[in-house]
Structures are given as C-alpha cells and as structure tokens.
Amino acid sequence: MPRKLGSWREVRPNVWQVRVSNGYKTDGSRRVVTRTIHGNEDDARREAERIADELGRSPALARGVTFGTVWARYLERRAPKLAKKTVNGYRWYVEHVWLPILGGMDASAIDHATIQRALLAMGHDKAARSRRVLSAVLSWAVSVGMVDENAAQGAYELPRSDETTKDAQLFDSDPFAAIEGSRGVWDARTVMAAFPRMHGLPLEPCWLACVGAGLRVEEALALRRLDVRRISIAGRMVTQLAVHHARPDTEEYKATKTSQSVRIVAVAEPFGARLWEIADAITDGHALLCPMSASNQNKRWREYFMDEPTSKHCPKTGVYRGRLRELPYQPMSRMRATHATLMQEAGVLDSVNAAVHGHSEQVAYANYKRPDLTDAAAQVGSYLSLVS
C-alpha cells in the first residue's frame, strides 16, 4: 500500500499503532482514525488498508481544495513553529510569486509543467528560492494529507544565472581564481588582512565572534559582557564565549537555532585576545558587545566595502565607510563558513568542527560528547600565525 494512505509504527514488540486520514475536504475538514493492533508489519499494513476503505479516502486528496487554502492552513498550523524570519521569507515568495499563479487552482492540479513555466519567467536566484519555498509548503501539505504529492520536487530547469556568464569570463582569464572564489569564503590571508582594518568598527565584535569562533550572526549579536571570559587552560590564555541566545532581524531575543547550539566556544587567536579587550572595557555585564540593530547589520557591513566618503562632513554613520574596500565582499553570514573552512585547513576533525558550530549532526555528538574546543581554537590560531 502506498505510504501516503497512512502510517504505522511499532510502539512495543508486536504492538503497532496505525494512523490513517481521509485527507482534507473542500471545507478544510478531515477525519483521522488511529488504532492499536497486535501482530507484525504486514498486519499493520492490512489494517491501514481497511481503515482507508472505511473512510472512503479519495486518491485525489486535494480535489476542490485550492493552493490558497493550503497556504492559509500552512500559516495557521506550521508557521507558529518556525522563526519569524523564515515565515516572513516564505510569505513574500508565496504572496508575490505563487498565489497570483496558483492561488485559485486546485492543489491536485498543480503539475510540473505549470511550475516550470513560472520558474523560467523569473531570474535565477528568485526561481531557485521560489521553488524551494513552494516545495516546503507542499511537503507539509502532503504530510498532513491535504495534497496527494509534492509537484515542486524533482528536476527543474532554472534560468541562466548572470554569475554564470561572469564566471565563464573569469575561467578564460584565471581559472584558479574562479574556482577558489566560488567557495564564497575568505581564505586565511584575507582574514588576516581584514583583522587590523576591523579595529574599532561597530561590527568588529560580531565579526570576531563569527570568524574566530564560528558563531551565527544572530548568536554573535546576542553576546553580552557576561557571555565572555578569559581564562588560563594548561598555561594558555583562552577567550571563551557562552552561546545560549540569538538576536535575529525580526526578534529582539530568542532561543538558539537548535538545542546543540547552546554551547561554550573557544575563540581562535588573535581574535580571542581582541574580543576580550573589547569586552573587558564594558562595565555593565548585561550590555551587548555589539549593540547595533540586527536589522541594520547588512547595510552597515556593506558600507565597509564601499568607496570612502568624498566629503569631510559626512554623517556619523558613514565615518567607517570604505574601511574594507580593498577586500573581496562576502556577507557577514559567510564569516561562519570562513571559520569552518579555516578549521578544516588547520586539521581540526570534522566532528569537532560540527560541535564548535553548534550543528545538529547526530554522528558528531555520538562520537565526541566533549570535544576539545580549546585545542581546536589553538590549531586555528597556529595556522593563522603562519600566514599573517
């Protein structure tokens, strides 16, 4: 029997819980039947088939239910479990891209050809993100029985990216630079070139935490004076960060992205010493290391890479403009990936690397319950000292 007609799981040896839904009806209602039976998996499957027959479940679950209804149900039931930033991003793509095209269409009638035509009418980046958002919404709809299948999955042709043309030109002139630059991270020399230029910039504490310890931007912006300490470990001074909250664009303060993200991280040198210097000068323990608004972070970071102001009478917010103009631009969010790359190049184990960055890979935590993050940071510091 197709998995979409129901589910069954063994709750105890030879005891199975079978769950079948009749799918959503036109009015948005549905009926779910759950039964517990004794036997093997074949018995559970047959019971699911019997329940499906009793419910009269139609193969076209979403017939009569529009995509607009699917989206409304998604916002009602799924959105409260997601970050506001994620929901706002989904909302933009659905309301500006998909509702005008699919809003009044039966969800069961959405097919590959319809989606493909829509994607080819967009730019490359917009098409790629739009498809991912549509797929996420339809996957949820399949999981709750509103839709028979996710038509957004599978292979789709996307419009040619402008970057593809630029890369092709660069491959003709300098293929090594094209390949190295495609990673979207700074190499060690660029990081060390940025270090003195970052001194005194409002975003310096955030940058130090991201590139020196692999924090997410929202985690770095949430750091307070209390969350930084400088201690001696085996005769070596180490700066450590207590990561336990985040400050994203749309929210003042919230929990970290995953439970594994609550962690203590050692900062690689020379970033650790400089971050402690900044923190030690702050007298209020609850004061933020980087008080800049999370919503303004991207704009301010970009200004560091722009040309210097032409007038001496520039506004206060523009005094740091152009400080990093000689360096290749990468978003602040890529500094976390830069740190991960430096860790790999310094020889840090991938499992330890995952723990440092607060990833949720189970394998990392199954094999390294207490990774030596201090030694990992020291390895990166030693590596960077060779290229500075």
Half-sphere exposure at residue 191, Cβ-oriented, CA atoms within 13 angstroms: 30
pLDDT of residue 367: 32
Number of H helices, E strands in the chain: 17, 8
Q: Per-residue pLDDT for 31 more than 70? A: no
Contacts of 213 (CB under 8 A, 6+ apart): 241, 265, 266, 267, 268, 271, 339, 356, 377
**Strand locations in 268-331 (E):** none
Among 120, 121, 122, 98, smallest CA distance to 110 is for 98
Segment among 86-100, 138-152, 195-209, 282-296 with least mean pLDDT: 138-152
pLDDT of residue 241: 93
Contacts of 61 (CB under 8 A, 6+ apart): 23, 24, 108, 145, 146, 147, 148
Instruction: Give the residue-averaged pLDDT of 40-51.
Output: 83
Confidence label for 361 from pLDDT (cuts 50, 70 and 90): very low
What would the DSSP string read from start to end of 43-102? HHHHHHHHHHHHHT--SSTTTT-BHHHHHHHHHHHTGGGS-HHHHHHHHHHIIIIIHHHH
Look at the block and give the residue holding tokens 């994620």.
Answer: 86
Q: Tell me how far apart the 2 most distant CA atoms of the chain are, in Å.
A: 82
Distance CA 18, CA 6 (A): 7
Distance CA 350, CA 75 (A): 37
pLDDT of residue 187: 86
Instruction: Give the residue-averaged pLDDT of 26-35.
Output: 64
- Amino acid identity of residue 285, one-letter, is G
Distance CA 342, CA 190 (A): 12
Q: Which residues pair with 266 in a beta bridge?
A: 240
Q: How far lies 237's CA from each of 70, 182, 234, 240, in Å?
A: 56, 36, 8, 10
Which of the listed ranges 124-128, 150-154, 202-206, 379-383 does the model predict with the highest average pLDDT?
Answer: 202-206
Q: Is 199 helix (H, G, I), strand (E, B) or coil?
A: coil
Tokens in use for 84? 């506001």
Which of the listed ranges 181-190, 283-292, 304-313, 364-373 does the model predict with the highest average pLDDT?
Answer: 283-292
Residue 246 carries which DSSP code?
E
- Please state, rounded to an integer, the average pLDDT across all residues of the chain: 79
Work out the angle between the directed axes of helices 334-345 and 188-197 (0-180°, nearest 10).
Answer: 130
Instruction: Give the residue-averaged pLDDT of 147-155.
Output: 83
Q: pTM for this structure? A: 0.56
Higher pLDDT, 263 or 364: 263
Tokens in use for 314? 């520039």
Which of the listed ranges 252-266, 278-292, 298-312, 371-385 does the model predict with the highest average pLDDT?
Answer: 278-292
pLDDT of residue 134: 94
Higher pLDDT, 64 or 239: 239
pLDDT of residue 133: 93
pLDDT of residue 289: 93
All structural domains of the chain, each given as residue ranges with its CATH number in brackets, are 3-55 (no CATH), 63-182 (1.10.150.130), 188-387 (1.10.443)
Look at the block and give the residue holding tokens 């860790």.
Answer: 343
Distance CA 253, CA 374 (A): 28
pLDDT of residue 366: 36
Q: Which residues pair with 7 in a beta bridge?
A: 19
Q: Does residue 203 contact residue 292 with C-beta atoms inside 8 Å?
A: yes
By DSSP bridging, strand 32-38 and strand 7-12 are unpaired
Distance CA 254, CA 232 (A): 31
Look at the block and give the residue holding tokens 């090594």.
Answer: 176
Q: Does residue 244 contact residue 256 with C-beta atoms inside 8 Å?
A: yes
Residue 136 carries which DSSP code?
H
pLDDT of residue 19: 81
Residue 154 carries which DSSP code?
S
Q: Is 249 helix (H, G, I), strand (E, B) or coil?
A: coil
Q: Per-residue pLDDT for 161 more than 80? A: no
pLDDT of residue 368: 30
Distance CA 127, CA 107 (A): 20
Half-sphere exposure at residue 162, Cβ-oriented, CA atoms within 13 angstroms: 4
pLDDT of residue 77: 87
Which secondary-structure segment (H or E) carries 131?
helix 124-143
pLDDT of residue 135: 93
